[in-house]
Amino acid sequence: MFEIATDFALLLILAAFCAGVVDSIAGGGGLITVPALLLVGASPVEALATNKLQGTFGSATATVAYARAGHVQPMAQLGMAAIAALAGAGGALIAHLIPAEVLRLVMPVVLIGVALFFALKPGLSDDARAARISPAVFGLTVVPLIAAYDGFFGPGTGSFYMMGFVLLAGYGVLKATAHTKMLNFASNLGSLLIFLPLGSIWWATGLAMAAAQVCGAMLGARLAMRIGAGLIKPLLVIVSTAMALRLLWQALAG
């Protein structure tokens, strides 16, 4: 299996740390790590598989950090997490059936919509509001749709979970961020289990990136909990817009 030189490894470790910080606050860390992996010579499948490996560690770390601070109760999320894991695995299995070109054209529009929602929606704060749907309906509809998308494509998953929790579940911004991480971890893990038999993971590189992801996620979660919506909202807008612009650039360049 192809692995990379030390110089490139240092670049990927730095990218993973930055991604861990961003992902634990607003999602979108794959915007940093996947292009970095492609830049150093990974094939698209290797980049996605290795990204799932290191990203799983980052989302797990963020989940633990938010849980320790009391912003999420993992045991109460086990049902949704199981659904997310199964849907993430299913998404990874059908990845070859979804034309990537179609997703690259559709997703920028969706991501810009997410950015505009969080930028312009008045009253978004860390305070809870009335839920529009029950937790059971949320878990059976919103969660599997987003998790399946995470399995076969991925960019913006954290932003979509965030929007669902805020708009439909009535969560405040910080609580939504905390609850997003466990579902993101579950869908990452589910899709990772599908990639394992394919032999596409760069193990040494991915584990080194995972260590950096853990450090970045710890820092990002602490910043989010200290500052709350004042940090999460603008960073989510920036990340969603950046992902949209990158996907547009890829679609036009392709």
State residue 112's pLDDT score: 76
Question: What is the distance of C-alpha 63 from the center of its chain?
Answer: 12
Residue 1 has pLDDT above 70, yes or no: no
Rounded mean pLDDT, 18-26? 84
Whether 157 contacts 238, CB under 8 Å: no
Q: Which residue has the higher pLDDT, 58 or 2?
A: 58
Report the mean per-residue pLDDT for the chain. 83
Q: Which residues fall within 8 angstroms of residue 117, CB to CB, at 6 or more apart?
A: 163, 167
State residue 2's pLDDT score: 47
Name which of 65-69, 178-182, 220-224 the model is least confident about: 220-224
Rounded mean pLDDT, 27-53? 81
Q: Which residue has the higher pLDDT, 140 or 228?
A: 140
Could you tell me the residue ranges of all domains in the chain?
Answer: 6-253
Residue 5 has pLDDT above 60, yes or no: no
pLDDT single digits (tens) 78-114:
999 999 999 999 988 886 666 656 656 666 776 677 6
State residue 254's pLDDT score: 59
State residue 133's pLDDT score: 93
Give CA–CA dist 139/47, Å, rounded: 29
Whether 202 contacts 1, CB under 8 Å: yes
